[in-house]
Structures are given as structure tokens and as C-alpha cells.
A and B are shown apart, each in its own frame.
Chain A
């Protein structure tokens, strides 16, 4: 049976399709889509609330259908409504007009700020548009248009769909539509007229009313009243009274530590051009009735000042040039440079380092020469720059990328200790520029660990900012290379002459910071140790009779002792454990064992006794290198107090060294031997500590050491001895007792040698040279990548600081996002360029928003406003302008914002009329405009846009429509809406109008092709 019926139905369908024409098929597809989307039937809906078209959510649904092989897209646009019950109570709405026709008459959503043009023109909450699928396609011929129009008409009729259906005709950009809406016995035709030349009567209300009435052709007299809504839009482009204040800083002016008003260590901020380009003022008369006002070609009551409603929107400049953004972008470009330093500057400035460093006359030493002149002058005139001299020599050109003044100012900024020496040297000035840095421990200060940059008061951070500025203003990459070379020379100078590097936290490299910062800290550790050693040597020489063994130590740096006394003192306070060996006996720190014998204070005996080793031998040499007594413990055997020894600090490490080390350790593999070797390689520190301990505690044993060093490995138990007393018995833990374990082994080899005479655990000379070499081989791109986190960090702080002045909530949110985004990206090694670019773009967008806020604030004179309340209102108004498409002006032309806007227009007008008037007159053809600018200067320019909505309800029987009684009452409305939207505002006259006449059989007076 099934087999029988199936072919039958197939045949039926096939037959249906073969006999159908393309046109019929097209119509059935339209019907299918309307069915699929469930648009059939009667909808009831609440009257539209005021403003719902802006505040509500609009959605759309699309499908594709074709007419022969021409593809159309069908789109349903609709306002999302809470409950759109369909077919609810059909009887109740039976004689009511279809919803779209009711919407035509509803005035609650006239002139929505942001809506589909059909919504704007016809006030519809829902409609379907059929348009050519390809953007370039167009329905041009009149016959095709008519064919489409009849298709939708039939489709609507067949389905009973009450949703208005439109067809887009002509080129898409012209936004021409024709459409139809059908209800039981009623029909609305939507038509449009596009006029290239606007006839005079279209330019004023009375002319429009005449046309409207004649088109309605209403048989009744007198005509029912026509309700009118008018909106005139004025554009302000010249902010004449207000000059955009921010100019790119003048780079050539150098004012004490500042270049062109830009302080070192600060990033610039703000737009260089006005980020707000236009202001559009819409003046609206929402409810006028015919006869109340006069607006004809000689006179108009439509004075914008008197309009009951004002609303404003601003047009933002697309990509305003902003300083911070430019700085960041330019710096980021450095990361992509391929050249090496040498390629940029010519032959290496470093090749002769070894020979020449001794002669390098240095900024510091020059500055430290006593001189009565103020610092700036001194720095400008006296400093000589070796790197520059060298560069000059090599290139044979008498100019270097950075000029002396700028370079000196920057060096002084980076190394303020040089200047401190000059003033009086008593107090170290905080190295940061005053007040600009967040206090330590604050969330902002600790941003560096999220960004893996460097603290905002550190040398690294300041260097990053200086390089950023030089890159932008002073010779680009060449300037960057030049400053970097100077910087590296300074580092070498400080290393060789034992001057600590300022602006770095003391202690081992901070692994939370960028590698470059860690390297600088590492260098400082080296300098600190070398300096302590050298000073120890010197102290030793002066202590003893001159000529002793000073021959060996002759290479001590010969700087005058007084200059850096302060630092020495400070350092002694910081590193307590250093104290004991940094003063008197320091020279032995690095000496070979044979020179130890030179030291004549009776240790030889002790050494000989102790050198026999073994854990438990009782020796009586003089204890050495004690730090302090342990609180409670006494030695197990002699019963003497246990002393904690002075120990060597473990070697400081930067993350790359650590990486290397862990690779080496990992390579040893996982075998027992590998593990043993690994432990051995890491036991240097243990051995050193054991030796120090032995030296400080003559006669000690491993148990003593373990009790101090690893208390958990000494197990004490209460036991009852033979006499019945409870005594505490202790012993090493099982794991310590394993024969020949690493701890026992080390203990047996350890000699009683105090830390100061041990072999250094940390080879500062080697490490310092490694760091300096690393610096020297950095290409500009490497440098930029090292420092980019600092620059981003600084930019974020800058944006944050600027935001607090404006207090814009949306910006706060974006800044939070930027921070969390960056902290994810910057903490990884080698972040992707694309992600970095994203961060920079985010920062730039925030800068633009803030710049816009400032521009508006200045334009509305918020700072000048004296009344507190008014000021707040204005502030709120400006914030709304930034975030909403259109903002209504409280009090219209008479409110505080309104009167400011009025003034802005008046001023612009005043200036505009100073230009020859004839030209203006020639251009403006319409009487309307002539009227507005003739005679006394008008406050406002001719309106750039004019929208008029005329509504009326009249009965319109039609001779050949269905003879249904409802037909006698037809909703009728004409809407003349200038499509003069933002994009055509610059054209002084209307280039387009559209007319919709709805109701039965309104014949189009002007066919839509009238302009072609």
C-alpha cells in the first residue's frame, strides 16, 4: 500500500513543480519562509513603550530564496518582546487594525537614535525584508520591481501574514524599499520617493502638508487634524572658541631634566588632535498640530532654541593620534629590528674595551669633582662621554645620535647618586622622581611581579622609559643603541671601581622581575662582594705596617676613599654576616692556602690539630668566624656553648643560570650514581657550612652540626638509666646514620676553616664579566624585548593615573582586563607578537576614551563651572555622551548643557559669517537656508537634517477594493522622512526624501525611479 501511495504523492508534487512557473515557485518559497518563521496570523501586542526601540533588543533571522537563479536573502527583523502571544484572542482583535498599522500611528518611538532605517521611517516593531543576496546585486528595472511587489502582495494574501513585507530595490546603499502590509480588509502600501532635487515646497512644513493632503485625497471636509512631529538636526564642526591644547611636545627644548616639558621617567599621554570631531544637535517638536506653528517659505516658528526637546550625539575621530599609543607602538617596532648594535653604529665601540676602560672618563667622576655650579649646568657643560668619543672616532663623523645635553640629563636621571655626591652626600635621595611612584606593598607597586617587569622605582624601569623616549624623539634606534652603550660602559665602570649600581633592591636577583633586571642585580651582588673584599684588603694594609704583603693586593681600585664611604656604612648595616670578615681579615678570602700561613695570630696550631679530621677528635685551637652563640645548645662533648658560624652566602643566580644549572643536573640522569653525583655537585654549600661550623666550634661532632643544621635529624628520647633516673638520650636519625652517606662523607672531609678563608662559593669576577658580556651583545631588538614588560607596566600605570582624574567606569573595567590579560602573557618567556599587539591596542583604546572625555569636558566647560550641582549634572551628561549613541539634553535649550551648546553654535556662526557670505549664499539654494542666514547672524546654521512625520486618520473608501464594511475606516498615514542620515549631512540640501503613503490604492505620484 505504501508503495502505491508514495509514488502517487511524488508524482503529484513533481507535477506541481513542473507546471509552476519560476514566479509561482518564488511566491511559494516566500510563503514557506513566512510559515517556517511562524509569522502567519494575527498578533496582539502591547502599545509600544516610550524609548523601547532604543532600550530593547532587536534580533534578526535570515534565509535565502531564489527567483530562477537570482538569489535573494529574506530577513526578519524584530524587537524582542516579553510575550508575543499569537492568535491569542482573535475575536477581540477582529476589528482592530493589524499591529503594524497601529505602530504607524504610535508616537512613542519617533526618531530612535539607533535603528534600522525602516524602523526609523515607519515606526515598525517587526518586518521582513527581501533583498538581493549579493551586496553588489540590485533590482533596477521598474518591471522587476513591480513583479517583486506583486509577489509579496500575493504571498501576504495567500498566507494571511500581517507582518509588513518589504523588497529592497535599487542599489543597496540607496536604501530604497517598497512594501506592503495586509490585514483583514485593509492594506498599507509603503512606498518611497527618492528625489535628487528637492522642490521648494518640500523644504517647509506648509508645503509638506499640502502635498500630504493632496495625496490622501480625503473626501471628508473638513479634514481631520494632522499631527506633526519635527526634528531639525544641526551640526557643529568648528570648535572655534576652544583650541585643542595638546601639541606634541617640543623635542628640541631641554628644560632642566626635561625634554620638551616631558620629564624623564614619565610617559606622555593624550591626543594630539581633537578626538571629538562633530557635535550633532537634534531639536525636536514631538507633538504639533496643524495650525499651531507657521513654517513656510518666508517665515518660520521653528526656532531651535524654543524646541521642547534637545538631544545630542558626538562623532568621534576615527583614530586620533595619541601620544602614549604612539610611544608604545614605536617601542614595540624595535622588537622587530634585525640589526646588531654594530650594524647600526658602524664598527664596534666595544672592541677595545679591555685597553680603554681605564681612560674612560666617567660621568660620575666628573660630577664628583667639587664645583659650586648647580647640577644641571655642571652636567651639561662638564661631562665627557667616552662612548660618544669612540663612536665618533670610529665613524669619522662629528655627530652622534644623542646630543650631549640629552644624554647627560638622562644619565643624571638614571644615576642620581652621582648628583648626590655633589650636593652634600649626607642623605641618599630616593631614586625615584618625587611622588610619582606608588608606595611599596601597595597593589600597584607589586604589579611588577604580575608583569614580570621591574619595580617602578628601579633603574631597569627608568631605563626602559628613557629608551622609549629616545626611540621616539631622539634618533630612534640609533639613539637607543647609543644610550645602551653608554649604559653598559657605566656598568663596567661601576664594576671596575666598586661603585654600587643605584635603583636596585639589594640581595640576590629577584626572579619575579625581567631577566635584564636580574642581571643588573647580579652585577650589583658582584660589585658588593668585590668591594667588600677590596676594602678588606685595604683596611688590612693600613692596619699593618705598610709594605707587608701588600704587593699582592696592589690591584685594589684607587678611588679616593671618602667618596663612597656612605655606601660602605650602609652595606655593613645590611649584611651583618659580612661584617666580621669584611673588615680586618678580608684579604684572605680569596687567597691560596699557603698565604694563610702569613697570617700570624696563632691559628697555625689550631689548623695543624684540626687537620687530622674525624668527627670526634678533641682539639683546642682558637675558635674563628663565630656569628653568635646558639640560644640553648651546648656541644655534646666539651659541653661548651654551641656557636653559629659566619657562613658564606650561597651564590646568587639569575633565572637563565638556574635554568642552565637545572639542565646540567637533569642530565646526570636518574641512576643511583647520577643522583649521588648530583648531590655531590650541590654539596659545596654544605661542606662550606660544615667547615665554618668546625672552625667556630672546636671539638664539635656531626651530632652538634646536625642539631643546628637539621634538628629533625637528631632524635631525642627520654630513657630511664641504670640508676632509675629519667635522662634524655639523643642520636642521629636513621638516615643520617647510614654509613658513608653524603652528610657523613662531607663531615669527614670538612676542615675547620672559617668562611672568610674558604674558597669562594661565588666567583664574582667571572659572573660580573658574564653579565657585562651579555649586556654588550644585546641587539636593540633584544633590549626592547627585555624591557617591553616595563614599558607596558608603565603605560598601564599611566593610564590608571589619568583615569583616576576622570573617573570613567567603563575605563576602569578595561584597565582591569588589561592587567589580567598582560599578566598571563608577559610571565611566559617569549610571548607572541600578536598577543603583545593586543595589549598595546587595548591601552591605546583606553587612552582614546580618556582623551575624548577630556575633550568633551573642556568643550562643556566643566572645570569652569562654579555651581557644584550643575557641575555634577554636566559631568554626568558628558559621561553619557561617551557611552550612549544619543543623549537628551535636560531642559533643552534652556538647561545648563543646552545653553553651553547654544553658545558653541553662536560662536561658530559668528566666525563663519566672517568668511565671504556670497559663496555661502550661492551654494545654499533653498529659501529655507537663505532665510536662516540672511539678515542678522542666526544662532544656528541651516539644519543639516530635517525630519517631519505627518499623521492623520481618515476614512478612505476605494472604488475597486473588496466591499467590506471595515474598508470604510482605513488607517492612513504619510511619512516624509529625510533620509539625511549622518553620512550625507555635509550636503546642505536634502538629497533624498521618502514618502510612504499607506492605505488602499494610493497611486504613487512619483515613481521610485523618478530620480534616475
Chain B
């Protein structure tokens, strides 16, 4: 572990398929836009260290597939996340209308009630907008979320979205402190580690 890193934060990106989750993440971590990005299968994972207010934080960001069929698996990644980015596509109203479902799922599976949520309306570079900025704002207010509009293509708002989220998490000390504490305990806890990837469990039976 890096010595100067204050904490490792687990962040999750969710939202309907094709809204640009993977593109936003790619823009944030590699500062590029790849129009040839494949649809995500299962979950993908990226790491980036950023510094907010002089504090270095390592972000472990899980990019989930919006595709229905993969969703049965993804709720498990909600566990222990301190922040979540919920994305919709401003040019597709149906992706905005599905937000309620996503929040429900989040509520059900996330292990903490004080998780920081950010709503991102993506693809503002496109012409055919279907969701007004005010609608997004209203939704975010109703559900006590951070809100920003962004474009993974033109880079608008992307950096800002992640930084705001991290700042907010760091301002909620209980959120990252206790997570770190518990993680420390967990590593030393044998019971959790049983049946690790190396051994198939069955073979170690007797």
C-alpha cells in the first residue's frame, strides 16, 4: 500500500446500458474517448489515485454492465462501496425514467446507509437532448444526491464529477474511516478467507 495514500475508496458506476458509464470512466482514468469501446460484460475495474484538498485517495472504481442479463451479479459489488455514480443519457429519456429502479436496487444491496450518491447526465455534447437539466436537478434534490451534467466525449464535467464525489466522501469521516478499520480486521479473519480461489473447497474437506 502506498504510504501517502490517505484511504482507498470503493466507487461504483451504475446505470442503463449504453448511457456511457465505461466511457466516463475511461475519460476519467485515461483522459481519452474511445468510440469503439465494447459493451461491458459483468463488471470492469479501474484504479486511479487523486488528491483532494491535499489528501491522496486511491479510488477503486467498479464499472458495471447496464445490460439486464448481467444485473443479477452486479448488486454484489454494491457491498462496501462508499460512493456511487448513477448515470443516465440526456438524449434518451427512458434511461432517466429507469433511475428509480437503480436507486431501489442500491438501497437494497448497499451495506451502508450513508453512501454518497452522484447523479450524472451524460452525452450533453449531442444535439437531440430529451432530458432537461432541471429535471435531473430535481431528481437529485429529491434523493439527496450530487448532480452534474457531463460528456465523456468532450470531457465536460467528468473530472469534476469524480472529485466532488470523493471530496464529499472524505468529508463524511465515518464513511471511510470505519471501512478502513473493518478491512484491517477482515484481513486477519480466517473464517472469511476459507475456500479461497486457489483451493476448490471440496478438496480440502477432510
CB distance from A674 to the nearest CB of B (A): 8
A338 within 8 A of B: no
Within the complex, the shortest CB–CB distance from A400 to chain B, in Å, comes to 24
A679 at the interface (CB under 8 A from B): yes
The minimal Cβ–Cβ distance linking B69 to chain A, given in whole angstroms, is 6
Partner of A512, one of B38, B69, B109: B109
Closest CB in chain B relative to A496 CB, distance in Å: 14
Q: Which residues of chain A in 645-670 are interfacial with respect to chain B, using CB atoms and an 8 Å cutoff?
A: 650, 653, 655-666, 668, 670
Nearest B residue to A733, CB-CB: B18
A residues 243-287 in Cβ contact with B at 8 Å: none
With both chains docked as a complex, state the minimum distance between the C-beta of B33 and any C-beta of chain A, in angstroms: 13
Beta-carbon contact of A655 and B76 below 8 Å: yes
Instruction: State whether the Cβ of B47 lies closer than 8 Å to any Cβ in chain A.
Output: yes
Docked pose: A661 CA to B197 CA in angstroms:
8
Do B197 and A664 touch (CB < 8 A)? yes
Count chain A CB atoms within 10 A of each CB in B29, B44, B60 and give the residue with the most: B44
B75 to A656, Cβ gap below 8 A? Answer: no
B46 at the interface (CB under 8 A from A): yes
Chain A residue nearest to B194 in the complex (CB): A774
Smallest CB gap from B112: residue in A? A827
A742 to B76, CA, bound (A): 23
Closest to B30 in A: A670
Within 8 A of A (CB), among B50-102: 60, 62, 67, 69-70, 72-73, 75-77, 79
| B residues less than 8 Å from A682 (CB atoms) | 41-43, 70, 73
> In the complex, are the beta carbons of B76 and A658 less than 8 A apart?
yes
B172-199 near A? 1/0 per residue, CB < 8 Å: 0000001000100110010110111100
Which of the residues B39, B45, B73 comes within 8 Å of A678, measured between beta carbons?
B45
Contact of A773 among B67, B112, B201 (CB under 8 A): B201
Verify B18–A511 contact, CB threshold 8 A: no
Assess whether A683 is interfacial by the CB under 8 Å rule: yes
Contact residues, A452-484 vs B (CB, 8 A): 452
Set of chain B residues within 8 Å of A512, measured between Cβ atoms = 108-109
Q: Which residues of B contact A770 (CB under 8 A)?
A: 195, 201-202
**Cα separation A963 to B42 with both chains bound (whole Å):** 102
Interface residues of A in 788-814 (CB under 8 A from B): none
A508 lies within 8 A of chain B by Cβ: yes
Instruction: Rank and list the top 5 A-B pairs by shortest CB-CB distance, nearest first.
Output: A682-B42, A770-B201, A658-B76, A741-B38, A679-B41
CB distance from B161 to the nearest CB of A (A): 19
Which residues of B in the span 1-20 have a Cβ within 8 Å of any Cβ on A? 16-18
Complex: how many Å from CA A161 to CA B112?
60
Q: Does A354 contact B (CB under 8 A)?
A: yes
A445 beta carbon closer than 8 Å to chain B = no
A668-691 Cβ-contact flags toward B at 8 Å (1 or 0): 101000010011011101100100
Contacts of A742 in B (CB 8 A): 38, 41
Our pick among B44, B47, B197 for the contact of A679 (Cβ within 8 Å) is: B44
Q: Give every chain A residue within 8 A of B200 (Cβ-Cβ).
A: 766
CB distance from A965 to the nearest CB of B (A): 70
Alpha-carbon distance A733/B36, docked complex (angstroms): 10
| 16 A-B pairs whose Cβ atoms sit less than 8 Å apart in the complex | A511-B79, A511-B109, A650-B73, A660-B196, A662-B77, A678-B42, A682-B43, A686-B41, A709-B67, A712-B18, A741-B38, A743-B41, A824-B113, A827-B113, A828-B178, A830-B189
Q: Which residues of B contact A774 (CB under 8 A)?
A: 194-195
Please state if A659 and B194 are interface contacts (CB–CB under 8 Å).
no
A736 within 8 A of B: yes
Known: A511-B109, A665-B45. A685 touches B196 (CB 8 A): no
For residue A735, CB closer than 8 A to chain B, the reply is: yes
B69 A685 Cβ-Cβ under 8 A: yes
Whether B191 pairs with A782 at a CB distance below 8 angstroms is yes
- Provide the A357-394 mask, 1 if CB < 8 A to any CB of B, else 0: 00000000000000000000000000000000000000
Nearest A residue to B75 by beta-carbon distance? Answer: A511
Task: Answer whether residue A713 sits at the interface, using C-beta atoms and an 8 A cutoff.
Answer: yes
Pair A675/B178 contact, Cβ less than 8 Å: no
Complex CA gap A743/B77 in Å reads 23
A3 interfacial contact with B, CB 8 Å: no
- Quick check: B202 and A734 within 8 Å, CB to CB? no
Q: How far is the CA of A151 from the CA of B145 in the complex (A)?
A: 67
Given A689-B69, A829-B186, also A735-B108 (CB < 8 A): no
A823 contacts B by Cβ under 8 Å: yes
- Residues in B with CB closer than 8 Å to A830 are 182, 185-186, 189
Q: Is the CB of B46 within 8 A of A710?
A: no
Which of chain B's residues 121-163 have a Cβ closer than 8 Å to chain A? none
B204 interface residue, CB < 8 Å from A?
yes
Instruction: Tell me, in angstroms, the Cα distance from A659 to B191 when the chains sit together.
Output: 13
Contacts of B191 in A (CB 8 A): 778, 782
Chain A contacts of B69 at CB under 8 A?
A: 685-686, 689, 709
Q: Tell me which residues across on chain A come within 8 A of B38, comparing CB atoms.
A: 679, 735-736, 738, 741-743
Shortest B176–chain A CB gap in Å is 13
Closest chain A CB from B198 CB (angstroms): 10
A713 nearest in chain B by CB position: B39
Q: Which residues of A contact B (CB under 8 A)?
A: 351, 353-354, 449, 452, 508, 511-512, 650, 653, 655-666, 668, 670, 675, 678-679, 681-683, 685-686, 689, 709-710, 712-713, 733-736, 738, 741-743, 765-767, 769-770, 773-774, 777-778, 782, 823-824, 827-830
Q: Which B residues touch A683, using CB under 8 A?
A: 41-42
Interface residues on B, range: 35 or more
Interface pair A710/B17, CB less than 8 Å apart: yes
Chain B residue at minimal CB-CB distance from A771: B201
Q: Contact at A665–B43, with CB atoms within 8 Å? A: yes
In the complex, chain A residues whose CB is within 8 Å of the CB of B73? 650, 653, 682
* CA distance in complex: A660, B43 (Å): 14
Chain B residues with CB below 8 A from A828, complex form: 111-112, 178, 182
In the bound complex, residues from chain A placing their C-beta under 8 Å from that of B40 are: 679
State A682–B39 Cα separation when bound (angstroms): 13
- Of all chain B residues, which has the CB nearest A689? B69
Whether A710 lies near B76 (C-beta < 8 A) is no
Beta-carbon nearest neighbor of B192 in chain A:
A656
Collect the chain A residues with CB atoms within 8 Å of residue B75's CB: 511
Residues of A within 8 A of B112 (CB): 827-828
Given known contacts A670-B46, A766-B201, A659 and B79 CB-to-CB distance under 8 angstroms: yes
Q: Is the CB of A670 within 8 A of B47?
A: yes
Q: Contact at B185–A710, with CB atoms within 8 Å?
A: no
Contact A829 B185 (CB under 8 A): yes
Task: Compute how far the CA of A765 lies from the CA of B16 in the bound complex, rounded to whole angstroms.
Answer: 35
A888 → chain B, closest Cβ, in Å? Answer: 45
Distance in angstroms from B50 CB to nearest chain A CB is 15
Q: Given that A512-B108, A769-B202, A770-B195 are contacting pairs, would A743 and B39 also be in contact in the complex, using a CB cutoff of 8 Å?
A: yes
Give the chain B neighbours of A653 by CB distance below 8 A.
Answer: 73, 76
Chain A residue, CB-CB nearest to B92: A712
Instruction: Please report the C-alpha to C-alpha distance between residue A681 and residue B112 in the assembled complex, in whole angstroms.
Output: 29
Known: A512-B109, A650-B72. A679 touches B42 (CB 8 A): yes
Question: In the complex, what residues of B have CB within 8 A of residue A710's CB?
Answer: 17-18, 39, 67
Given A658-B76, A710-B17, A773-B204, A734 contacting B35 (CB threshold 8 A): yes
Q: Given the complex of chains A and B, what is the CA–CA distance between A452 and B113 in angstroms?
A: 12
Nearest CB in chain A: distance from B94 CB, A = 9
- Chain A residue numbers with a CB within 8 Å of B47 are 670
CA distance A511 to B75 in the complex (A): 9
Report the Cα distance A765→B194, complex, angstroms.
17
Q: B62's closest neighbor in chain A, by CB? A: A662
CB-CB under 8 A from B17, the residues of chain A are 710, 712-713
Chain B residues, CB < 8 A from A713: 17-18, 39
Known: A653-B76, A733-B18. 20 other contacts (CB 8 A): A452-B111, A508-B72, A656-B194, A661-B76, A666-B60, A670-B46, A679-B41, A682-B41, A682-B42, A685-B70, A710-B18, A710-B67, A713-B18, A741-B38, A766-B200, A766-B201, A769-B202, A773-B201, A824-B113, A828-B182
Residue of A nearest to B107 (CB): A449
CA distance A660 to B199 in the complex (A): 12
Q: Which residues does chain B contribute within 8 Å of A712, judged by CB atoms?
A: 16-18
